[in-house]
Amino acid sequence: MLKIIVLIKQVPDIERVRFDVETGRIDRSSAPAEINPFDLNALEAAVQIKEKVGGFITALSMGPMQALSSLRDAMARGADDAILLEDRRFAGADTLATSNTLAAAIRKIGPYDIILCGEKTVDGDTGQVGAEVAQLLEIPHVYYVSRIVNVSGNSITVVSETEDASYVLETGFPVLVSVTRDVNKPRLPTLKSKMKAMKSEVKIWHAEDLSGFLDLDKAGYAGSPTWVHKVVVQREKTRQVRIYRQVEDGIQELMRLLESKGLI
Q: Residue 37 to residues 7, 51, 95, 112, 122: CA-CA distances in angstroms?
A: 12, 21, 18, 24, 8
CB of 254 to ligand FAD, least distance (A): 46
Q: Which residues, 6+ apart, have CB-to-CB distance to 156 below 8 Å?
A: 49, 114, 148, 150, 170, 171, 173, 175, 177
Q: Does 160 bind ligand FAD (CB under 6 A)?
A: no
Mask: binding to ligand FAD, 161-180, rule CB under 6 A, as x and -? --------------------
- 181: amino acid identity, one letter: R
CB of 109 to ligand FAD, least distance (A): 13
Q: Does 62 bind ligand FAD (CB under 6 A)?
A: yes
- What element of type H or E holds 51? helix 37-53
Phi, psi of 150 (to 5 degrees): -160, 150
Among 61, 70, 160, 184, binds ligand FAD (CB under 6 A): 61
CB of 187 to ligand FAD, least distance (A): 18
- Complex with ligand FAD: residue 131 or 169, whichever CB lies closer: 131
Number of chain positions touching ligand FAD (CB under 6 A): 32
Mask: binding to ligand FAD, 210-249, rule CB under 6 A, as x and -? --------------x-xxx---------------------
3-state helix, strand, coil in the chain (%, to 5): 35, 25, 40
Q: Is residue 160 within 8 Å of 169, Cβ to Cβ?
A: yes
Reduced to 3 states (helix: H, G, I; strand: E, B; else coil), residue 56 is strand
Q: Does 98 bind ligand FAD (CB under 6 A)?
A: yes
CB of 20 to ligand FAD, least distance (A): 14
From the CB of residue 164, how many other CB atoms can be counted at a distance below 10 Å? 5
Helix axes 129-137, 95-109, angle to 10 degrees: 50
Q: Does 140 bind ligand FAD (CB under 6 A)?
A: no
Q: Does 70 bind ligand FAD (CB under 6 A)?
A: no
Show contacts with ligand FAD in window 74-93 (CB under 6 A): 92-93
Cα atoms in the 13 Å half-sphere on the side-chain side of 152: 6
Show contacts with ligand FAD in window 18-37 (CB under 6 A): 36
- Complex with ligand FAD: residue 49 or 102, whichever CB lies closer: 102
- Complex with ligand FAD: residue 125 or 259, whichever CB lies closer: 125
Show contacts with ligand FAD in window 112-131 (CB under 6 A): 117-118, 120-121, 123-130
**Helix (H), strand (E) counts: the chain:** 6, 13
Q: How far is CA 38 from the centre of its chain?
A: 7
**Which of 119-152 are b and which e, b meaning 16 or more Cβ less than 10 Å from the residue's Cβ?**
bbbbeeeebebbbbbbebbebebbbbbbbbeebe
- Complex with ligand FAD: residue 133 or 197, whichever CB lies closer: 133
Site for ligand FAD, rule CB under 6 A: 7-9, 36, 38-39, 42, 61-63, 92-95, 98, 102, 117-118, 120-121, 123-130, 224, 226-228
